[in-house]
A = this chain, B = another copy of it.
Amino acid sequence: MIENNELYLQTLGQNAKQASYGLASLTGTQKKALLSAIAASLTAKSQAILAANQKDVAAARENGLSEAMIDRLLLDDARLKGVISDIDNVISLNDPVGTELESQLLDNGLRLSRRRVPLGVIGVIYEARPNVTVDIAVLALKTGNAVILRGGKETLNSNMALSEAIREAITEQGLAADSVQLIKSPDRTLVSGLLKLDQFVDMIVPRGGQNLQRLCAEQATIPVILGGIGICHLYMDKDANIAKSIEVIANAKVQRPTVCNALDTVLIHDSLAETALPQLFSNLSAQGVSFYGCEQTKAIADKLGLAISTATDETYGQEWLSLTLGIKVVADIDTAIGHIRRYSSGHSEGILTDNIHASAHFINQVDSAAVYVNASTRFTDGGQFGLGAEVAVSTQKLHARGPMGLEALTTYKWIGLGEYTVRG
């Protein structure tokens, strides 16, 4: 990292930390007023924001980005209105900050409590989705945190316009504009630098693919919440209802194949394979799904005149994010669990069975953020889980696991009240 970058990041960090002290003692009412002001400011500056986004879209076309990518970074009037109206939803959420988690009078005379408080400063690294700029800023402020944002370079103009509108609203409310800061250079070394800013930043949330997650795990000296990668499995047990299971599999694979909780691999008990696989092929092929199968699966497909690809170690380890499905016939439940332990990313897995013992065994032995019995993996989602908002989906085990709501943006402090009390 060149010297100026280091200086720039130090300044961002110091400003964010300083701003966080002001946010920590805001009341719920003050935070609601702040978020309302942000919504109003974004509405007032809509034209400038859309114009900035148009610049990003034009540059993307010039650089030959795919239409899917351009659609992702596009903000039109309707989408921006949607982003702004989502702020009302966050305003109405319960503010977890200030809750006393426990309180007791210790034998030593100290009144000890544990109080939920903001984390302080959160760093978020994300891809070319300008809505994330607003989402994350609003969720951070709702919980009294300052935030440093690093969005995809393809949306830098959009993010600058959005963050300026947000900062103006913050200033209007008499708070430090640096409560929300955007890294304004696309220089990649700034990401590495942000990951080492442990003096000022309390948590890093990378919202992006495998490479970004790995970069953060390897380079960060700040705690990182890894997540968002879902290699998801459903196991059809020998005691599964075949027709109903296929409905669940189809939902998990087809309803929205491009997201992390979509199904990647079906494991099917040997005794059901001959009966169930033809029905599964027929249902899913009609919906445009293609398959990678084990030898046994391929033999059954062959008999039906269906050509499918050969599953390998590599394909079983893949998050498809498309209408592709891996299939493997297994001898028993423990072989299924073994496969999951080997290939799962710890996101979402399920068993399909009418057998209570198989269900309990699967729940106990599969070590993922969400484990389902007779349900679609598509349920792993902050909205579906009733969290009101979703910061990210964590696939690691510390601090927060699975869909992260507002509480994941807080920590606690211990408070001890004495009467000039000493330890005996």
Contact = CB atoms under 8 A, between A and B. Distances in A.
Contacts of A422: 247-248, 251-252, 255, 375-376, 378
A412 interface: yes
A148 to B, nearest CB: 16
Interface string A237-266: 000010011011001100100000000000
A202 interface: yes
Interface string A193-208: 0000010001100000
Contacts of A252: 422
Interface of A: 21, 24-25, 104, 106, 108, 110, 112, 117, 119-120, 198, 202-203, 217-218, 221, 223-224, 241, 244-245, 247-248, 251-252, 255, 341, 350, 352, 363-365, 367-376, 378-380, 384-386, 396-399, 401-403, 411-423
Residue among A120, A375, A421 with the highest chain B CB neighbour number at 10 A: A375
Contacts of A21: 341, 365, 367
A227 to B, nearest CB: 12
Contacts of A223: 223-224, 396-399
A367 B413 contact: yes
Contact of A399 (B110, B363, B398): B398
Contact of A375 (B110, B376, B378): B110
Contacts of A369: 413-414
A392 to B, nearest CB: 13
A413 to B, nearest CB: 6
Chain copies in the assembled complex: 2
Contact of A414 (B378, B396, B402): B402
6 closest residue pairs by CB, A with B: A375-B418, A251-B422, A244-B420, A397-B411, A398-B399, A378-B423
Nearest to A368: B413
Contacts of A413: 367-371, 401-402
A414 B373 CA distance: 11
A371 B251 contact: no
Given A245-B420, A420-B241, A423-B251, A414 B112 contact: no
Nearest to A109: B375
A352 B420 contact: yes
Contacts of A104: 386
A367 B245 CA distance: 51
A416 B376 CA distance: 9
Residue among A241, A364, A402 with the highest chain B CB neighbour number at 10 A: A364
A401 B419 CA distance: 24
Contacts of A396: 202, 223
